[in-house]
Structure formats: structure tokens, C-alpha cells
Amino acid sequence: MSAPPRDDTKAASPALVPLGAGLGTTLVVTALSYALPPDYQATGIGLTFLAVTYFLVLRHDGDGAVRHGIALGGLFERTPLSVRRMLRDAGVATLWALGLALLIFPAFTWGWLAFWRPEAGFRAASWLAIASRLPGELLVIALPEEAFYRGYLQSALDDAFPRRVRVLGADVGAALPVTSAIFAAGHLFTELDPNRLAVFFPGLLFGWLRAKTGGIGAGMLFHALSNLLTLFLAQSYGFST
């Protein structure tokens, strides 16, 4: 007896919901980026990402926050907070983020200089002023984006595309490049400059950290530090920001 024909529609359907959510949310935040006053754009977009993540993951009972890597030491779980667990998880995430920064940032700086070829000489921007922006980068930019893209979207696509390969100690699949592509598209739509598509590559690093560590904490901090390094370089070489 011959085997029944494979139903490719059923095989593909698990990916349709997260892909639809990813593209739909990207379009909503794109519209907000043009509709909101400049001073409120980042806050409005960040709140939108968090609201969608809450609706898709956090409002449900169960272990959704853990499965999607957005528990953040129990902060977003419906259980009593454990200071010890929060400090432990924060410490591990920080070590991963700083370790990867030490490996990647020198090469990133070289690549940034090679690409932009600044004409002005180097005049170091104020590290104090740059560092003062870390809380905003973490809470307004990195947390919402990582919670949605690497927390919800990458996790949901991992369920839809279960095949994995081992990359530098992390098990990753098609969800990693697909999520990074949607992440990059969102940056392009909000600012119509082809250079914005370059965030596809740091998106791969954020996603790799999500797969390696099991959560978004390390990727969130690395994301914020990457933004601050870019800002430091731009200001130090006289680019407007």
C-alpha cells in the first residue's frame, strides 16, 4: 500500500502565525515611527513590542515566559521573585554579553571605520554621556525588541522549524536567519536607508545568544552595548546622530 500524500499545508502552517505576527507588528511599529513625534517614537515603538509580547506570551498561564526566554530571572513569571535567582541570571547574562563584546567589538570597530571612512579625525566623545544612555537603551530599545524578536518570534519559529544545527555550541535552525531578516526589515521600513539592513548581522548574534543561554538577557545587554558603541564612534568622528 502506498503512503498517503504529504500535506505540505499542514507542515507549513505552524510558521504562519509567528510570521504573520512578526510582519504585522513590524508594519504597526513602522506606522508609529512616522506618526509619532520624534521625542516619543522610541517609547511608543517599545511599548508596542512589549504589548504584543504580553498578548502573545505573558498573558497566558503556564511556563510561556520560560519557554520563550523572557523570564529574566523570574521578573516576568507568575511566581514570587527570588533575589538570588535574579542576581545569578543577571550575572550570567552580563558575563556572556561582555565576553562576546570583547571578541566582537574590535572587529566591529574596524569594519565600521572601513565602511564609513570618516573624514574628520578622532575626538573621543564623552564616555560619561554615552554611559548615561545605557538605562534607556536597555529598557526602551533592547528589552522590547529582544522580548519580541528573540523571545516570542524566534522561539515560535523554532517550534515551527524544529531542525537544528550546532553552531559554536548553540543549537540553531531556520528561525535564526528568518527572525534576523524580519528584524532588519523593520529597521529599513522605519528609516528608508539600505544601510539599515546591516542590522541583520548583529541580529544573528542576538539570536545566537538567545539559543546559547536560553534567555534574552545576554542578548539584551549586548544589543544595548552595541548601540552605545555605534553612538560613541559616530560622535567621536563627527557624524550627526
Whole-angstrom Cα distance, residue 33 to residue 96? 32
Q: Which long-range contacts (CB under 8 A, 24 or more apart) does 126-130 make?
A: 127/232, 130/228, 130/231, 130/232, 130/235
Provide the greatest CA pair distance for the chain: 76
Whole-angstrom Cα distance, residue 112 to residue 50? 31
Structural domain spans, the chain = 15-236
pLDDT in tens, 4-63: 444 444 445 788 999 999 999 999 999 999 999 999 999 999 999 999 999 999 888 778
Which residue intervals of 162-216 are DSSP H helices? 175-190, 200-213
pLDDT in tens, 113-137: 999 999 888 999 999 999 999 999 9
Mean pLDDT of the chain: 90
pTM: 0.90
DSSP 8-state symbol, 71: -
pLDDT in tens, 159-193: 999 899 999 999 999 999 999 999 999 999 988 88
